[in-house]
């Protein structure tokens, strides 16, 4: 057995992903009549949205349309005044952020939220926190099961590091990495949580073309080969239109259109929201 824990140069496909859908990786999100207000401003107005298992849905819209607010509502940072959110048939409207992460909703942030003073590996270990199965007492004595858990999850993380091609920066401090690489590390952290539903908030913002291409490759592989359910919030329309299964368009807190990329591109209200009133 001991040999199994030897370090390897490359591990192939990440074992935490499976191409067959099981009960465990099921992700069905339903948002119903969600209304969020900040004082007098209505950030979200009666939003309905459903995300089906295994699909990549993009949310687009001008600045201030409520895209990020919706993600914040789903991941529990904001509490909506009205409406319900359910995940796999369970009402999650009032769950706390950490609980939501535990039941399988992972996300990245618009302005990278990582731990700059820690290495890439520690960041990912942190992100995998909910999967480590031992308690304080066992940890304080560093019992055998604690060591085994640490080693087991380290292997999983190494697979992810291979997948995201981050081998060379594994032990570097996140704070010292360039912006684009940090975006990738953040994706790694979100994946380390092994989420059923992955929400990405502008993963393509502010990175170079090569980094965008890499990121697209990762997302497409995640979605198509491993059936990862993804919600993507993004401004870059050419990427959105080429990789999404479905696109929802927001404007001023209202969902103005939803459908296939082609449908949305030709929708008059969308054109109006992006290009202004041409009549």
Binding site for other proteins (CB under 8 A): 2, 5-7, 68, 71-72, 75, 77, 96-99, 101-102, 107, 109-110, 113-118, 122, 125-127, 129-130, 132, 134, 136, 139-142, 146-147, 150-151, 154-155, 158, 189, 193, 201
Cβ of residue 102: shortest distance to other proteins, in angstroms? Answer: 5
Cβ of residue 199: shortest distance to other proteins, in angstroms? Answer: 10
**117 or 178: whose CB is closer to other proteins?**
117
The DSSP secondary structure of 186-242, one letter per residue, reads: HHHHHHHT--SEEEEESTTTT--HHHHHHHHHHHHIIIIIS--EEEEE-S-HHHHHH
Cβ of residue 148: shortest distance to other proteins, in angstroms? Answer: 9
**201 or 258: whose CB is closer to other proteins?**
201
Distances in Å between the Cα of 26 and the Cα atoms of 51, 81, 180 are 11, 28, 30
Cβ of residue 268: shortest distance to other proteins, in angstroms? Answer: 32
60 pairs with which residues across the strands?
249
**78 or 252: whose CB is closer to other proteins?**
78
**127 or 257: whose CB is closer to other proteins?**
127
Distances in Å between the Cα of 86 and the Cα atoms of 31, 95, 164 are 6, 11, 31
**174 or 243: whose CB is closer to other proteins?**
174
Cβ of residue 30: shortest distance to other proteins, in angstroms? Answer: 21
The token duo for 115 is 């731990």
Q: Which residues of 41-79 are buried (b: 16+ CB within 10 A; e: fewer)?
A: ebbbbebebebeebbbbbbbbeeebbbbbbbbbbbbebe
Alpha-carbon distance 123 to 167, whole Å?
14
């Amino acid at each position: 057995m001991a040999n199994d824990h030897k370090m390897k140069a490359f591990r192939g496909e990440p074992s935490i992903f499976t191409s067959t859908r099981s009960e465990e990786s099921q992700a069905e999100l339903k948002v119903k009549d969600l209304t969020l207000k900040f004082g007098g401003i209505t950030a979200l107005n009666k939003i309905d949205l459903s995300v089906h298992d295994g699909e990549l849905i993009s949310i687009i819209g001008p600045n201030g349309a409520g895209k990020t607010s919706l993600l914040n509502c789903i991941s529990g940072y904001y509490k909506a005044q009205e409406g319900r959110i359910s995940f796999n048939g369970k009402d999650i409207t009032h769950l706390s952020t950490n609980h939501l992460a535990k039941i399988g909703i992972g996300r990245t942030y618009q302005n990278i939220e990582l731990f700059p003073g820690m290495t890439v590996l520690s960041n990912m270990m942190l992100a995998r926190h909910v999967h480590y199965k031992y308690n304080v007492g066992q940890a304080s004595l560093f019992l055998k099961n604690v060591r085994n858990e640490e080693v087991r999850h380290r292997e999983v993380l190494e697979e992810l590091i291979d997948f995201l091609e981050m081998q060379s920066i594994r032990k570097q401090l996140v704070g010292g990495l360039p912006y684009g690489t940090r975006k990738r590390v953040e994706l790694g952290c979100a994946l380390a949580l092994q989420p059923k539903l992955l929400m990405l908030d502008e993963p393509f913002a502010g990175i170079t073309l090569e980094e965008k291409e890499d990121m697209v490759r990762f997302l497409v592989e995640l979605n198509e080969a491993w059936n990862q359910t993804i919600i993507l919030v993004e401004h870059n329309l050419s990427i959105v239109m080429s990789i999404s299964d479905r696109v929802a368009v927001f404007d001023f807190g209202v969902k103005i259109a939803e459908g296939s990329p082609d449908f949305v591109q030709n929708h008059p209200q969308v054109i109006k929201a992006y290009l202004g009133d041409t009549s």
